[in-house]
Structure 1
Amino acid sequence: MNALLLSAWFGHLRILQILVNSGAKIHCKSKDGLTLLHCAAQKGHVPVLAFIMEDLEDVALDHVDKLGRTAFHRAAEHGQLDALDFLVGSGCDHSVKDKEGNTALHLAAGRGHVAVLQRLVDIGLDLEEQNAVSLRPCMAAAWTATLDCVRGPLGWEAPNALTQVAKALPDCGSP
């Protein structure tokens, strides 16, 4: 992480502006492929996101990191509802899947972010979308024991979701 990325990560808008005005390279990436947008979205720094989108040129809204995740994925995974709303308002692609086939719904469900899940459901993300190992978001929530997600925005009862998880897992054989 360089000074520019760290400014976005910690939400130091004024420092970010000074660095940019001093000629810092705005299209930098961390060793994990995180851009300024990824850093600000993951930490929920909406003023930083607004500066990046409104004042910087040629910033790719749907750029993916080494895991294949966009800033939208990062905001959902880390429960950053305001950042998620900002990215949706900026026109990000909601349908992008990461390298494991996860949508933003899978990531938010797996971490138990109920408010983010509700927003993702409200904007129309597909509850039946499967990732690379055939798990749907409700199964990701059940797998990680985030039953509030399963009962709430995902609309499944916990026993049903847990049964679905068990069916989705490969047969490991007896010990």
Structure 2
Amino acid sequence: MDENTLKLLVKLTQEGQLSCLEKRITLGGSAAVQTISRKHFGRSGDTLLHYAARLGHLEVVEFLIKRVGVDVEVYNNDYKRPLHEAASMSHRACVSYLLREGAKVDSLKKADWTPLMMACTRRHLDVIQELLRHGADPALRNKDGWNSFHIACREGDPLVIQHLLLAAPDVWRTESKTRRTPLHTAAMHGCEEVVKLLLERCGYTPDSTDSCGVTPFMDAVRNGHIPVARLLLDKHQASPTAADILGAQPVHQVAVTGQEEALWFLVRDLKVDVNQKATDIELTALHYAAKEGHTSTIKTLLDLGADLHVRDKKGRTALHMACIGQHADAAGTLLQLGLKDSEDASGATARQLAKKPDVVRVFECGSPDAS
């Protein structure tokens, strides 16, 4: 077959035009059928069966398997089988047919993802149920240590979570390779109903930490998910002042991500000390916000009572940190608020730490926009 004919076959497959596809392949005789049964296309190495399964063209899938003889377990360059494609795109009819034809329910693609994991990236419970009925194992983990339950918790569908717990009651007892639990995942993504379900149905210990010392509460507040954070406080006795392995507390982490509503929540509602220092090098929330260049967050912290002149273990002010991060707007704001340049413990001034022209210009002209 020439290149143009092959491209046409791909197009007909993607469009689900079975009669035209069948006619084209049949015209080529047995040689054409044999070629198509083994042909991989493009950089991905997909076959026509991959295309058909991905797009949910069941009749084309049946034709390619029964009449053309494409192997139901054929894989592309990422080791994705047609079942991965159908499951990831929530095509239940194709999933059911491929399984009946002998597709392995727990086949692994690149990075050790199973079809069930792919299905859990969507919210189609019927596909997940079909895979589970055929023996899919929700406890299998991919190369990052995530199982299907982790993935479902990220997507946040309570019905999927409930069904996975019914199918495998201990599936929640899992950690990724960085020791993150499904509760971390749900909290990070703000999945309030799922977090509530996990706290009711699973036995997570309060303030469980990942390999960086991050708790689910930290994940919630630093991503601005205040209702989830409240839920963890009320139902799970989470600590608003727990520290990660660098000594950073939620107030510091929220300053890094610039979540100002979360700052008000921590300082005004929970009475967290806005000037609390992280234990590693005694950085405050103001230091972190300045280093990240969050000008609005700097102002919010000052409204909450942050000390403009506080220094870290190396004698650096927030102005030093803004210059280390090369943030002209933040440096200009701090100067306008009355913070003077000064030397740190090593004798370096903030101005000496400024490398980018617009940051240097702040000290020359007093404003990042000045000419």
Query: Does residue 1:34 correspond to 2:214, yes or no?
Result: yes
| Alpha-carbon separation, structure 2, partners of 1:49 and 1:19 | 14
Across the aligned residues of Structure 1 and Structure 2, the Cα RMSD in angstroms comes to 2.6
Higher relative contact order (CA 8 A, sep 6+): 1
Aligned counterpart in structure 1 of residue 329 of structure 2, from 134, 145, 148: 148
- Distance change (3 Å), C-alpha of 1:156 and 1:149: same
Q: SS state of the match for residue 301, structure 2?
A: helix
> Cα offset for 1:166?
5.1
- Distance change (3 Å), C-alpha of 1:154 and 1:65: farther
Runs of 4+ more than 3 Å apart = 159-163
Q: How many residues align?
A: 168
| Alpha-carbon separation, structure 1, partners of 2:286 and 2:254 | 11
> Cα offset for 1:150?
1.7
- Distance change (3 Å), C-alpha of 1:57 and 1:15: closer
1:25 matched residue in structure 2: 204
Asked which structure has the greater CA Rg, the reply is 2
> Cα offset for 1:119?
0.8
| Alpha-carbon separation, structure 1, partners of 2:351 and 2:322 | 13
Structure 2 unaligned segments of length 5 or more: list them: 1-179, 354-371
2:246 matched residue in structure 1: 67
2:235 matched residue in structure 1: 56
- Tell me, yes or no, if the aligned pair for 2:341 and 2:351 is still in contact at 8 Å: no
| Alpha-carbon separation, structure 2, partners of 1:129 and 1:160 | 13
Describe the superposition over 1:61-117 as per-residue Cα deviations: whole angstroms up to 9, x where unpaired: 111111101111111111111111111122112222111110000000000111111
Could you tell me the TM-score, scaled by structure 1's length? Answer: 0.85
Q: SS state of the match for residue 94, structure 1?
A: coil
Structure 1 unaligned segments of length 5 or more: list them: 169-175
> Cα offset for 1:133?
1.6
Q: Counterpart amino acid of 2:253?
A: R
Residues 1-175 of structure 1 aligned to structure 2 (within 5 Å): 1-27=180-206, 28-53=208-233, 55-88=234-267, 89-98=269-278, 99-153=280-334, 155=336, 164-165=349-350
